[in-house]
Structure 1
Amino acid sequence: MIADQRLNEILQIMSQKEFVEVEDLAARMKVSSMTIRRDLQKLSDMGMVRRQYGGASLVTDAQLENDYSSKKVKNQTTKQKLAQIALKQIHKNDIIYLDAGTTIFELASILNSRQNLTVITNDILIATDLCKRDINTILLGGTIQKATLVTIGSSTLDSLQDFRVTSSFLGASAISTAFDVLSPTVDKAHLKKIAMQIAQKTYLMVDSSKFNNYALQKFANLSDFTGVITDRKFSQAERSKLDSLYINILDTV
């Protein structure tokens, strides 16, 4: 098992248990205790687990989610460039799904140039902003997550799966070295999967800071998207891998 897969499996195991022991993880994965300690330290450095004597515990969903206001100002210029690329994929009369998040918010803020759009979203701030600008908006119901001001839960999932859209625009918390696309919570991963299933085309919008990172739940691979909108400057080796997987990169370069 390669390191990338091992880290994801550790997170999956920890999502089911309050505390995991180093020796237990080593036995499950057939690697040395030293290897597991290094893995846990890497996850701890990324703020995803808390090291404890003999093992580690998973940081809770609430702790994994950064406060919305702090995320909004991070890499804002880059997010605006990504939004301009995404806008080119949207046309008059489209029905689109906008994922929650500050990168997607930048796209929502420039939709006025597209006539007769219908937008579906679970992001309360996006929905509020669109309504102010007379854009036909559908806000998915559900439980409100206070830290990020989005709706989430079974009601949100049920309502979204009945829609059909021209395009879905999604964000992500992290992208692994294997180009797996990750979300910090199971509920959000499920919602993103449905958003991909109901769309004719799906686009991922991620800045370079999301690459070579980890989060709890995989919901896709870069190869599953119609296009990946990013400012990431890929190495030659990464470009070769992207080409071999037929991943379409729409970059800001």
Structure 2
Amino acid sequence: MLGAERRQRIMDILGEDGKVYVAKLATEFQVTEETVRRDLEKLECQNLLQRSYGGAVPSEATSADVSFARRSSQNQASKLQIAEAAHSLIHDGDTIMVDSSTTCQMLLNRLAKKQGITVITNSIRLMYDFRASAFRMVCTGGNFRASSCSLTGPVATRMLAGYHADDTIISCKAIDLAGGLMESNDSESEVKEIMMQQARRVILLVDHSKFDKTALVRFGDIGSLSYLITDREPHEEWKKFLAETKVKLLVC
């Protein structure tokens, strides 16, 4: 297993279990504990985790891959404001692709009264939560990721590539002027990349805590967005960049 593959697996385990242990990882990867410590050190340098005695825990300050339930409780007021702003961009009869983010969950709650909406998603959680809604729901197949209640992998991306949507609505773990749009794992990144390609417009829902941060995997260019919706005014450098790339900024 390559170093990059080990580190991705470490982040996956961290997202599912909330902690990783050096000895256990060394056994799983069939490498020395010193090799695992070097992997953890590299991930810590990227602000993706915080080393602790015998292992590591997620870094709250950045973009560790935390569970859906835990993400649902974070920045709720900001997410509700963002969902409200995004609501006005979606019209009766639209087809939308949405990811497994908690902000998209809040948006679908706001869209429930609109007519003829088709929702294409890789989120098992959204399929369950809106099973009795008037939405026409389409879900991908794929590999189940417990931490995000989502389906990923080749089956999911192939299915998404067969659909076209009016809007793709996604969130991300981090956004940076140099780094672009970033996620904490490869599998979610691949899904979001395909979703962005399959829609007429791409709408990013992201609260202020995600700006100028770094995550493990880059999946898209900021300039590929149609709208960026956030809860606080970004600094002037961001405003200038978004204007130059013709990305419409909506601040709640």
TM-score class, shorter-chain normalisation, is 0.7 to 0.9
Query: Is 1:47–2:35 an aligned residue pair?
Result: no
- CA–CA distance in structure 1, aligned partners of residues 66 and 243 of structure 2: 33
- Deviation per residue, 1:209-245 (Å, 9 max, x gap): 1111111111112211010111132222332233233
- CA–CA distance in structure 2, aligned partners of residues 184 and 169 of structure 1: 18
Between 1:216-225 and 1:203-212, the stretch displaced more is: 216-225
TM-score between both structures, scaled by the size of structure 1: 0.76
Q: Which residue of 2 aligns with 1:28?
A: none
In structure 2, do the counterparts of structure 1 residues 233 and 179 end up closer, same or farther at CA, with 3 Å as the change threshold? Answer: farther
Task: Count residues with an aligned counterpart.
Answer: 221
**Contact 1:68-1:102 within 8 A present in 2 as well:** yes
Query: Is 1:115–2:115 an aligned residue pair?
Result: yes
- CA–CA distance in structure 1, aligned partners of residues 179 and 243 of structure 2: 12
Query: Is 1:104–2:118 an aligned residue pair?
Result: no
Equivalent position SS for 1:234: coil
Equivalent position SS for 2:93: coil
Q: Which residue of 1 aligns with 2:141?
A: 141
- Deviation per residue, 1:9-61 (Å, 9 max, x gap): x9799659984999xxxxxxxxxxxxxx9x87642xx3347599xxxx9x8xx
Query: Is 1:67–2:49 an aligned residue pair?
Result: no
Deviating runs (4+, > 3 A) in structure 1? 10-22, 39-42, 47-52
After TM superposition, give the deviation of residue 87 of structure 1 in Å. Answer: 1.0
After TM superposition, give the deviation of residue 180 of structure 1 in Å. Answer: 0.5
In structure 2, do the counterparts of structure 1 residues 51 and 181 end up closer, same or farther at CA, with 3 Å as the change threshold? Answer: farther
Query: Is 1:76–2:79 an aligned residue pair?
Result: no
- CA–CA distance in structure 1, aligned partners of residues 194 and 154 of structure 2: 12
User: Identity over aligned residues, as a percent?
Assistant: 24
- CA–CA distance in structure 2, aligned partners of residues 107 and 101 of structure 1: 10
Q: Which residue of 1 aligns with 2:92?
A: 92
Q: What are structure 1's unaligned runs of at least 5 residues?
A: 1-9, 23-36
- CA–CA distance in structure 2, aligned partners of residues 41 and 190 of structure 1: 24
Q: Which residue of 1 aligns with 2:212?
A: 212
Q: What are structure 2's unaligned runs of at least 5 residues?
A: 10-28
- CA–CA distance in structure 1, aligned partners of residues 5 and 147 of structure 2: 23
- CA–CA distance in structure 1, aligned partners of residues 129 and 237 of structure 2: 41
